[in-house]
Every structure is written in structure tokens, then in C-alpha cells.
Amino acid sequence: MEVKIIDGGRHSDRRGTLDFVNNFDMSEVKRMYLITHPDPSIKRGWRAHKLEQRWFYVLEGSFEISLIKIDDWVTPSPDLPLEVYVLSADKPQVLHVPVGYASGFKALKPNSKFIIYGDAFISEAKNDDYQYPTDYFTNWK
């Protein structure tokens, strides 16, 4: 399975604004968490999952999300290629990250917020949590 963007839309009228991502099938989602990232100079990463897939949705501000397909779970190659996605609250989209990827991200605006949805309960996810130092992958500038 490949990483993909699920596009949404926005409707505004005198009553306000409605953002939507109608093609995001949430039937596999078992948990979610909200991250507020106050400082765009700080990078957060790397966290990977062999078994869990995730979906990212920006509520406020914008984020650069970098993904790396892991080749070896104990000692991945540090020069693996990056896939970089920019998500913004101004354009409703969901980024679907299938199993097998590490993610790292940074806010592009102060106090940006996003939701991450996962398809594993926390009791399952704690056994599928691979972390690497922020500077481990050399292609992440």
C-alpha cells in the first residue's frame, strides 16, 4: 500500500465555514490524538510502525510531514529516501500513512495543531513502536 492524500473541501456561507474530507473512511480508526506544535524550529521524529497505519489531519496552521519506508527495523539505512508532504488547515486533506513507515514532522506556523488517527488500540500500539533519533536519517534537513 502506498502513502496517499485524501482530498477534502470547504464550503462557506453566511453561517460560517464547513471543512470536510468525505472520502476518508474512518471505519478502521481505533484511537486519535491531538498534537499542538508551538515552535516551527523544532522537529519531532522519528516514530515508525510495522503493524499500525495512521492518518494525519491539520486543524490549525500547517505542517511538513516527512515519511521514510523502513528497510530494516533494528538498523534502518540512514540515507533512505524521504517523501515530504505539506498539509495545511487552509486545504482540508487527510494524509494516509500505511504500515511500514517512519514519520517526522515540524510545524510551518507557530501553534499549529493536527490530529493523528491510528488503527490500533494503545494496548496494541505500545508493542509496535519503533523510535529513531531526530538526526538519524541524513536526508531530513
Q: Read off the DSSP letter of residue 103.
A: E
Write out pLDDT tens, residues 56-113. 999 999 999 999 999 999 999 999 999 999 999 999 999 999 999 999 999 999 999 9
Contact 113, 35 (CB under 8 A): yes
CATH number at residue 109: 2.60.120.10
User: Of 21, 22, 96, which Cα lies nearest the Cα of 53?
Assistant: 96
Write out pLDDT tens, residues 14-62. 999 999 999 999 999 999 999 999 999 999 999 999 999 999 999 999 9
Phi, psi for residue 122 in degrees, rounded to 5: -60, -35
- The answer on pLDDT for 125 being more than 90 is no
Q: Is 139 within a domain?
A: no
User: Of 19, 52, 66, which Cα lies nearest the Cα of 8?
Assistant: 19
Boundaries of domain holding 114: 4-10+32-131
Helix (H, G, I), strand (E, B) or coil at 35: strand
Q: Is 88 within a domain?
A: yes
Distances (CA, A) of 66 to 43, 84, 121, 124, 137: 10, 4, 24, 24, 11
Q: What is the pLDDT of residue 49?
A: 95
Q: Is 69 within a domain?
A: yes
Q: What is the pLDDT of residue 124?
A: 86
**Letter for the amino acid at 56?**
F
pTM of the predicted structure, to 2 decimals: 0.94
